């Protein structure tokens, strides 16, 4: 019985992975990248504060991918960077550089996790 259950579960998992086309994933990634670029541009033009921009970026990510613990940590870290930047404790370009590093790391963790879980 356990073997049958395990085989059935494996088959369902493989079918779910097969039914998730790469084009959907690519489309979401392209949408995320475009949205993030637009928000950063609006921030750089003074239309949004850095904190407003971070909130919009996080909301769009959650809309596309759902809540992800590693990205939630990255968003919290980024938000704190911009709080410190707005307070004059660190320059904006330094906050941006630190954010890019943490976001890249979070994306790598997400890709590895997705490849392991299907």
- The reported pLDDT for the residue numbered 89 is 94
**Of residues 97, 77, 81, 98, the one with CA closest to residue 89:** 81
- 82 to 28, 57, 92: CA distances (angstroms): 26, 13, 7
Asked if the model's pLDDT at residue 23 lies above 70, the reply is no
Q: With 60 as the cut, is the pLDDT of residue 48 above it?
A: yes
Tens of pLDDT, residues 53-76: 999 999 998 998 888 887 888 888
Burial profile 74-105: b = 16 or more Cβ within 10 angstroms, e = fewer: bbeebbebbeebeeeebeeeebbebbeebbee
pLDDT tens by residue, 76-97: 888 998 999 989 999 988 888 8
Q: What is the pLDDT of residue 25?
A: 63
- Using a 10 angstrom Cβ sphere, with 0-12 exposed, 13-18 middle and 19 or more buried, the burial of residue 57 is buried
Cα–Cα–Cα angle for 89, 72, 58, nearest 5°?
Answer: 80
CA distance 55 to 1: 49
d(CA 15, CA 91): 49
pLDDT of residue 113: 65
User: What angle do helix axes 69-86 and 50-65 make, rounded to 10 degrees?
Assistant: 170
Provide the pLDDT for residue 106: 62
- Whether the pTM exceeds 0.75: the reply is no
């Amino acid at each position: 019985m356990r073997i049958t259950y395990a085989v059935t579960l494996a088959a369902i998992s493989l079918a779910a992975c097969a039914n998730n086309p790469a084009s959907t994933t690519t489309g979401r990634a392209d949408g995320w990248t475009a949205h993030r670029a637009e928000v950063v541009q609006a921030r750089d033009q003074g239309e949004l504060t850095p904190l407003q921009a971070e909130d919009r970026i996080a909301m769009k990510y959650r809309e596309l991918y759902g809540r992800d613990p590693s990205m939630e940590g990255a968003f919290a870290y980024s938000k704190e960077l911009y709080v410190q930047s707005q307070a004059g404790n660190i320059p904006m370009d330094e906050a941006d550089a630190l954010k890019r590093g943490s976001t890249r790391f979070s994306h790598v963790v997400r890709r590895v996790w997705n490849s392991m879980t299907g």
